[in-house]
Amino acid sequence: MVRLAGKVAFITGGGGGIGRATAERFAAEGASVVVADIDEALGETAAAAARKRVRGVGSATFIRCDVTDRASVTEAVAATVARYGKLDVLHNNAGGASPNDGPVTEAPEDEFWRAIKLDLFGTFLCSKIAIPHIAKAGGGSVINMSSIVALMAMPGRDCYTAAKGGISALTRSMAVEYAQDRIRVNAVAPGVTLSARVKKQLEDNPVTEQIAATHLLGLIEPVHIADMVVYLASEESARTTGQVFPVDSGVTIR
Ligand SMILES: NC(=O)c1ccc[n+]([C@@H]2O[C@H](COP(=O)([O-])OP(=O)(O)OC[C@H]3O[C@@H](n4cnc5c(N)ncnc54)[C@H](O)[C@@H]3O)[C@@H](O)[C@H]2O)c1
């Protein structure tokens, strides 16, 4: 039996590694999925891959969206509701660290604002615009994207850490605020996950073996994160809200 039949989901950054894996898993579970991405080529490819996973119910489509731009998000969410009639699930996934990050004394200020704008403000803005639609649908689920950097110190990426810490805190306050609308708000905190972007960063990097050694169950693939997002989007997590779930191959317990 499919687990997301009848649900309409909006996945930001749905063209990338984790977002695309999630779009594919959602489509396979019967959801109508909007791949909302700033990159048209990546978004169209991900939506096509997700459509191939549909079994009977469900569908997938690409809608261009820049999560940092109010007009763009408003238009993309409106287009979603116009196409599918409602919105049940928002997955605030767009984001990511960059090689320009570093310790506070070294990281460029531009990099701080890049991380805050994309990860934290993007999550804020998409939630602000999508939540009234989810409430109108009678409730649903918001799944934010945090990171293990919000749970343990990982030196050398202080801008990204600040943004992801903000997302974890925001997840808890939003869960309390929107419970009255039957909207659950949770976050996933992945460890190092092998999206194409991260694979490129790790290529020929001596630190890769060190990272791999800390992962009790091996390195993480995007589908491992997607599986957690499916659970949080589904009714199986009906009494779960305000939580941040590590999917980290045991890294944070060592
Ligand atoms: N991969 C990891 O190791 C890892 C670990 C912890 C957390 N995360 C988080 O998971 C999420 C996805 O990571 P990923 O590795 O799949 O990233 P990715 O780089 O593979 O994909 C990110 C996607 O977001 C899109 N995007 C970028 N800016 C955008 C914008 N302004 N509006 C809309 N879309 C935009 C990109 O086009 C891309 O398709 C991010 O929030 C990241 O911080 C990733």
Question: How much is the mean pLDDT over the chain?
Answer: 96
Question: What is the residue extent of each domain of the chain?
Answer: 8-192+222-243
- Classify domain 8-192+222-243 by CATH number: 3.40.50.720
**Tokens 């599918």 found at:** 84
Q: What are 119-166's pLDDT values in tens digits?
A: 999 999 999 999 999 999 999 999 999 999 999 999 999 999 999 999
* Model confidence, pTM: 0.98
Structure-model confidence comparison of residues 229 and 210, the more confident one: 229
Q: Which of 84, 160, 178, 231 is catalytic?
A: 160
CB 80 within 8 A of CB 8: yes
CB 25 within 8 A of CB 49: no
DSSP states of 168-198 as a string?
A: HHHHHHHHHHHGGGTEEEEEEEE-SB--HHH
Active site residue 84: no
Distance CA 51, CA 27 (A): 7
Ligand 1 atom with the shortest distance to the CA of 14: 39
3-state secondary structure of 72: helix
CB 54 within 8 A of CB 4: no
Cα 159 to ligand 1 centroid, rounded to whole Å: 15
Cα 177 to ligand 1 centroid, rounded to whole Å: 26
Residue nearest to atom 32 of ligand 1 (CA): 66
